[in-house]
Each structure stands twice: as structure tokens, then as C-alpha cells.
Amino acid sequence: MLAGATAIVAYWTDWFTRGTVKVADDPEYITFEESFPLADAYLAACLLLSGHALWRGRPAAVPLGIAGGSAAVFLGLMDLLFDIRRGNLRDSTVEMQTEKAIIAACLTLGPWTMARLWKRRHAFTS
């Protein structure tokens, strides 16, 4: 969970400083992508808080992790649909490969996190 939150911070740090993660520079793309930082901050916070609660054996790890996993799925689907509609998935640039990896991570690790925590929820209750 710490790795996921760290990756989110690294992505947005690059976006707003170097910009090497940007797939395109047209206004539609920039406007769309710059709608994500607050939602990504929410996702990162959920991951960090859930990870901390998990480490401490606290029951709050489950709902926080499920919230984070759900946010990851939602954000991954938003990015995927945008890229499908624009035809971006055909691109093979390094930036687009990074984008595809982010989408894949959101759509696999989000559900995995939710399922894993839900299956282990009884371990956190007394």
C-alpha cells in the first residue's frame, strides 16, 4: 500500500515538474488528466491509512482498504475509457506504456486489495 501511495505522489510530482509522464500536450488531454490529483490524493490517503491500520492490526484497515481499492478501480476505468475514446491505446510511446501500466495496476490491484481485505476481515474483529 505504501508503494502504491508513493507511486501516486511520484507520478504527480513528475507531471507538475518535469512532465515526462504526459502522453500528449493538447488541451483536452491536459484538462482531463489535471482533474485527477484530488481523487488520486484520496486514493493515496486511503492506501496509507489502511496500510498503517493493517500494520497495527486495526479493524479500520478493511474499510479504508476497500475505499482505496474502489477508488483505484474507478480511476482506472475513467482513464481507460478516455484512452479508448481517443484511440490512445494504439500508441506505443514510453508515456503511453506507463499509462497502460497504471490502468492495469488500478484494475488488478484495486479488486485484489478489496477481495484480500474482505476475506481477512474477521482477523481484525474480536
Q: What pLDDT is attached to residue 11?
A: 97
Please give the model's pTM, rounded to 2 decimal places.
0.93
Could you tell me the residue range of the domain that residue 19 belongs to? 2-124
**Number of folded domains that form the chain:** 1
Q: DSSP of 13-66, one letter per residue?
A: HHHHHT-TT-S--SHHHHHHHTT-HHHHHHHHHHHHHHHHHHHTT-TTHHHHHH
Q: How confident is the model at residue 125 (pLDDT cuts 50, 70, 90)?
A: confident
**Rounded Cα–Cα distance for residues 47 and 6 (Å):** 10
Helix/strand/coil percent split, the chain, to 5: 80, 0, 20
Question: What is the tens place of the pLDDT at every residue in 57-105?
Answer: 999 999 999 999 999 999 999 999 999 999 999 999 999 999 999 999 9
